[in-house]
Amino acid sequence: MHIPGHHSSTLLRRATRSSSSTTTRLQSSLSSKSPSTSSTPSRSYTTTAASATTVRSSRWSHGVNWRSPASLTSQIRITSVASPVLDRFHRSLATSASENAFSGILTGLPKPGGGEFGKFYSLPALNDPRVDKLPYSIRILLESAIRNCDNFQVTKEDVEKIIDWEKSAPKQVEIPFKPARVLLQDFTGVPVVVDLAGMRDAMNNLGGDSQKINPLVPVDLVVDHSVQVDVARTENAVKANMELEFQRNQERFAFLKWGSKAFQNMLVVPPGSGIVHQVNLEYLGRVVFNTEGILYPDSVVGTDSHTTMIDGLGVAGWGVGGIEAEAAMLGQPMSMVLPGVVGFKLSGKLQNGVTATDLVLTVTQMLRKHGVVGKFVEFHGEGVGKISLADRATIANMSPEYGATMGFFPVDHVTLQYLKLTGRSDDTVAMIEAYLRANNMFVDYNEPQQERVYSSYLELDLSEVEPCLSGPKRPHDRVTLKNMKQDWHSCLDNKVGFKGFEVPKEAQDKVAKFDFHGQPAELKHGSVVIAAITSCTNTSNPSVMLGAGLVAKKACELGLQVKPWVKTSLAPGSGVVTKYLLKSGLQKYLNEQGFNIVGYGCTTCIGNSGDLDASVGAAITDNDIIASAVLSGNRNFEGRVHALTRANYLASPPLVVAYALAGTVDIDFDKEPIGVGKDGKEVYFRDIWPSTEEIAEAVQSSVLPDMFKSTYKSITEGNPMWNDLSVPEAKLYTWDQNSTYIHEPPYFNNMTMDPPGPHGVKDAYCLLNFGDSITTDHISPAGSIHKDSPAAKFLLDRGVDRKDFNSYGSRRGNDEIMARGTFANIRIVNKLLNGEVGPKTVHIPSGEKLSVFDAASKYKAAGQDTIVLAGAEYGSGSSRDWAAKGPMLLGVKAVIAKSFERIHRSNLVGMGIIPLCFKAGEDGDTLQLTGHERYTIDLPSNISEIRPGQDVKVTTDTGKSFTCTARFDTESFIDHCGVIEEDSFDCDSQAAKIVGEIRAFNGLEEKIPDILRTSRKQHRIASTYKSITEGNPMWNDLSVLESKLYAWDQNSTYIHEPPYFNNMTMDPPGPYGVKDAYCLLSFSDSITTDHISPAGSIHKDSPAAKFLLDHGVDHKSFNSYGIRRGNDENIVRGTFANIRLVNKFVNGEVGQRLHIPSREKLSVFDAASYGSGSSRDWAAKGPMLLGVKAVIAKSFERIHRSNLVGMGIIPLCFKAGEDPDTLQLTGHERYTIDLPSNISEI
């Protein structure tokens, strides 16, 4: 199901018409071949923006403009469309939308004092007893389906499926869902805007109206992922880090600012404002929309997996891949399986001294064990009423870590109190309560509760929760505080794995002495070198933040001090946190302990931890110390936090301070003192730990509503650096071909309006062979760019100093960098290298050990498909679309795994990579697959013959044959393979509604005269939302062109014109399989997108580093893979570049790969790159650019799987009970994957 340039072609076709039949999407996805390596010359266009009707959408006391479908009357230019499209347009009129089938239940909602708030679609008016038993989370899906029921995109049959949820959900039925809005952050937002800019170029080149490429739903983009902890433990850390942030990211920020002006309905919140999820919780979340008098529940999908944090506010929200987000932005309903709902009953009350972090780590472990992948979790019971909204948000935030799509808390009185606390007006809160009560979506614990039906049940007595941490390598590996020392020593003893480092007994007491700026210092195994209060999970919670301040205060009073070589930092989720820490008087004590505020955004949690002091780094590396980081984050995958901290523990902010004071995780807090106080007495943990009453008193006296109001009033004003960014008004972007941040995406090159049919995978090599738990951090890391990585080389080759490398996350706008950063995680383990840790693989035909990018490039140059083998939980972690885009760019056609994470699996499909699951009981080991075979994957060539969950035969050139399950979970989803090519405006359906004299959108129906009257109204922009886009001086000083087409700079190492759209035509070819493919890498389980496409630092010896050095970039300017995601040349060199990647090809050696044909050990990039000149979705883009054609794993993460498919890489799952080991696959075979040549057969 490879998709050369395919998701692009369909995307543009969507921009000129809609297909009521979505079969063409799979057709386009399965037919794509690797993008051309040719680049498009830099160009600049100036166009006049078409006028558009704006509709006011209530955002508390202010409004925001978003484009109504009514404006499509001025968007659709039928005469400019090619005749084949006109034919389809006329045919679509025959199936035009009808009046909403549920208009009879549209009911007025009266105000207490007279008049009405508006009208709403009343669920009680259905008078159906099945609705009364539905979980609250399912009622939101039901309301959306009813409101959008036009019998075109959403049918009465879809509504009936949801009403009959109790019977429908077990059958895995498909439903459409139209979220109310889309949420982005800059790491994932830059690639989205790059894709939109690329679509405009492609539309322009095809003779269409480029300004049709615009979001149709409100889009909020919060810039929060670019700040790094360069400066810490000083009063000026915030200012210094922001200046460095703008210095590194000026090009990216200018690009985003251009996007905010060029595209309608897009709000950009400038850097320095806070973490996206906290801003969403405290400010952007509506709970209930009121759009032109129609009331409906707020819902959101976001390109960050922790979008689920908003579920704590009673807003349905979850993470999706960037590809799915683009489709939602462009007005397409999301096709999803109607989920099961796990009812999680909470009872009792937390004990004294137990924090919300302890609770969420306990819940995560319970749900992970229960198994909730692809399900909603709905919390209920009297215990829910006893936990704060902030605590609920903490639990909801970690839904990805326990595997659920959502962790939902219905709205109750606690929610309403929080809305008032955070500055929402009394009138708005009154409207929310009235609507939710009237529509049976409000929980009142003072009233008898009607029993609801759930798919399964869990219960937790809150009084049983104990203080705990999670680690050292996975968020669901919970360790109680009292057992921490014992567990640590077990980890030192255990074999290398998720709970082991295998340190010889004689080396466990090693002491590394060094000089720290003239002061004697020492490190041991377990020494804490990073202590960070960070992440949306905890920094939005006043109880744990003030609790940390109280720990610091008691420690100061007793005379304890954090050692100066511990890198301490505090990155609040919003300015509100600073206000209440200052008001409480606790910030000064945090400062005394080194926890000065370093910035407002995601820092250490995503790998933006900055460099350790050189003396500390040398002591760790020279003595092979297992150094530790303790952070209040939600992810601790190896290689994510920092390359030198191999043990990373998640803990509450108070525990972060406690462990910083102790200086080691090798301590029993019950029995051993933390230190010696100023009076010479030993100080114990119990002496500095605050009581629940102390924390509650601090919260009550310090957290005030005015803090939220003043913070979010000023957030719209930006900051001087942002406001100084000067950008052009052009609607087409002027791509700078020299940019290493923003690069024209390759997906739309050679685009045609009619994509080809599907194909299988023929004789594909195994690019990587993984074990379990490969996360999106493994696939497409977001952190720093290793100096020796392909991405680093790419940047250096383009004149970028190492200090300016930035991160992979910041470079997601450049496909060339992101492809090089795919599978570039330094901790990735590839079975092809026999357990060696690091981002390398074997190029099977040659036997060379190469970087993943180099190996993939070599395969691509030889026209050889590749796949990836993996174990369970492939693609877990962040919803990183580059974890699918990167592999697609590397040429990966399929991933065969034991299981996938939901979002990643969806992303793989979206990028044209086939996600295949081994059958139960099977995996690579049981099937004795080594990864040295060549794999052929059979898929029907006729799209109509491809069905969700169908069996797919996989054969190898060694004579092995096994059956996998194709993890396309809905038929529409199959049709969406390569969705980025397919989903743009559903213009046919909208035009049909308009021409048919009816418009139905979000439950609002209008006749043409009403539309025309609306179109004559003035634009209505509330002052607050007008000012939020004004940014700050540095942003405003950024100078950008006015063109609607981007002027690509070919020398840029940040932004690079993507190769996906090169040589694109309106009629892509038919599908093909994978023939005699080499195995690029052979992994075991748990390969994450961080392994595939790391986001962190660019290793000095990586292909990316060489690329950067060759382009004149100094090491100090490397920045990170995440920062360079706008440049495909960087990211493809960073694909599979994680230094902890373990490849079975080289007997578990870390960071090495083998080029099988030559038997050379090369970087993955080197093994794939011979003759190639092509440039977390990058975890799919990167492998695609490396030439990977397929990934065969035991399972996939949903988003990554979708991204793989979207990038033309076939994700294949071993059948249950099978995996490479059981199938005796070594990865040295050549693989042929049979896919039907007829798209209708897939």
Q: Are 738 and 269 in contact (CB under 8 A)?
A: no
pLDDT at residue 1058 above 90? no
- E-strand ranges in 100-163 read 106-110, 116-121
Cβ atoms within 10 Å of 889's Cβ, excluding its own: 49
Q: Regarding predicted confidence, which is higher, 716 or 276? A: 276
Check residue 13 and give its pLDDT.
46
Most confident of 18-27, 51-60, 200-209, 488-497: 488-497
- E-strand ranges in 707-794 read 735-740, 749-753, 761-769, 771-775, 785-788
Average pLDDT over residues 956-972: 83
Q: Are 1176 and 190 in contact (CB under 8 A)?
A: no
- So where are the chain's domains? 468-705
pLDDT at residue 1075 above 90? no
Grade residue 1068 by pLDDT with cuts at 50, 70 and 90.
low
Grade residue 155 by pLDDT with cuts at 50, 70 and 90.
very high
Average pLDDT over residues 1232-1242: 77
Q: Which two tokens stand for residue 818?
A: 């992101």
Average pLDDT over residues 404-426: 94
Average pLDDT over residues 1003-1023: 36
- CA–CA distance from 1241 to each of 102, 761, 975, 1071, 1238 (Å)? 36, 14, 12, 11, 6
Residue 343 backbone phi and psi in degrees, to 5: -85, 115
Residues 6+ apart with CB under 8 A from 831: 769, 770, 771, 869, 924, 930, 931, 1082, 1083, 1084, 1142, 1143, 1144, 1145, 1148, 1220, 1227
Residue 971 backbone phi and psi in degrees, to 5: -65, -40
H or E stretch at 745: none
Report pTM.
Answer: 0.66
CA-to-CA distance for 180 and 178, rounded, in angstroms?
6
Check residue 1167 and give its pLDDT.
59
Residue 78 backbone phi and psi in degrees, to 5: -60, -35
Check residue 923 and give its pLDDT.
92
116-125, 563-572, 876-885, 1001-1010: the lowest-pLDDT one? 1001-1010
Grade residue 906 by pLDDT with cuts at 50, 70 and 90.
confident
pLDDT at residue 1005 above 70? no
Grade residue 1221 by pLDDT with cuts at 50, 70 and 90.
confident
Check residue 1198 and give its pLDDT.
67
Check residue 1016 and give its pLDDT.
33
Cβ atoms within 10 Å of 1129's Cβ, excluding its own: 41
Check residue 186 and give its pLDDT.
87
CATH superfamily to which 468-705 belongs? Aconitase, domain 3 (3.30.499.10)
Q: CA nearest 736: which of 1116, 1045, 1122?
A: 1045
Task: Express as a percent the part of the chain with pLDDT over 70.
Answer: 82
Check residue 167 and give its pLDDT.
95
pLDDT, tens digit, 9 for 90 and up, residues 322-356? 778 888 888 888 888 999 999 999 999 999 989 88
Q: Are 841 and 1069 in contact (CB under 8 A)?
A: no
Q: Are strands 181-185 and 174-177 parallel, antiparallel or unpaired?
A: unpaired
Check residue 1112 and give its pLDDT.
86
Average pLDDT over residues 1181-1190: 84
Check residue 854 and give its pLDDT.
94
Q: Are 1063 and 5 in contact (CB under 8 A)?
A: yes
Residues 6+ apart with CB under 8 A from 216: 66, 67, 69, 265, 329, 330, 331, 985
Q: Are 875 and 321 in contact (CB under 8 A)?
A: no
Grade residue 970 by pLDDT with cuts at 50, 70 and 90.
low
Most confident of 224-233, 266-275, 346-355, 1173-1182: 346-355
Grade residue 602 by pLDDT with cuts at 50, 70 and 90.
confident
CA-to-CA distance for 130 and 166, rounded, in angstroms?
8
Q: Regarding predicted confidence, which is higher, 560 or 1014? A: 560
Grade residue 566 by pLDDT with cuts at 50, 70 and 90.
very high
Check residue 740 and give its pLDDT.
86
Q: Are strands 675-676 and 682-683 parallel, antiparallel or unpaired?
A: antiparallel
Average pLDDT over residues 910-914: 85
Helices of type H across 1066-1195 = 1089-1092, 1103-1110, 1128-1133, 1164-1167, 1178-1185
DSSP symbol at 36: P
pLDDT at residue 1099 above 70? yes
CA-to-CA distance for 806 and 63, rounded, in angstroms?
35
Check residue 720 and give its pLDDT.
85
